[in-house]
Amino acid sequence: MKNLPLEFIYANVIKKEFSVFGHFYDVKLDTQRDPFRFRSVLEIVKETIPFSDSQELASARPDAVFIIMNPGGSNP
């Protein structure tokens, strides 16, 4: 199988075409001073798709689904 060259695309370029929405929550453990920040939902949406509210976004059929492990690197 031939390896195809991959081009790295920086976040500031991607964010011109896509919007990112997420739901975050904190978990405080007795052994930790500061809570851990977790993400339960991460939505990546092409800017050209008009969503008038979050309910419409939540009911839209996705083009792809990814399982992302917590804690992740995305921020609120």
Q: What count of Cα atoms within 13 Å lies in the side-chain half-sphere of residue 35?
A: 8
Banded pLDDT at 71 (limits 50, 70, 90): low
Looking at the 3D structure of the chain, how many domains does it have?
Answer: 1
Domain span including residue 12: 1-76
Cβ atoms 40, 23 nearer than 8 A: yes
- pTM here is 0.52
Residue labelled with tokens 């976040």 = 11
| More reliable by pLDDT, 43 or 70 | 43
Whether the per-residue pLDDT at 59 is higher than 80: the answer is no
The per-residue pLDDT for 48 is 66
Cβ atoms 71, 38 nearer than 8 A: yes
Whether the per-residue pLDDT at 75 is higher than 70: the answer is no
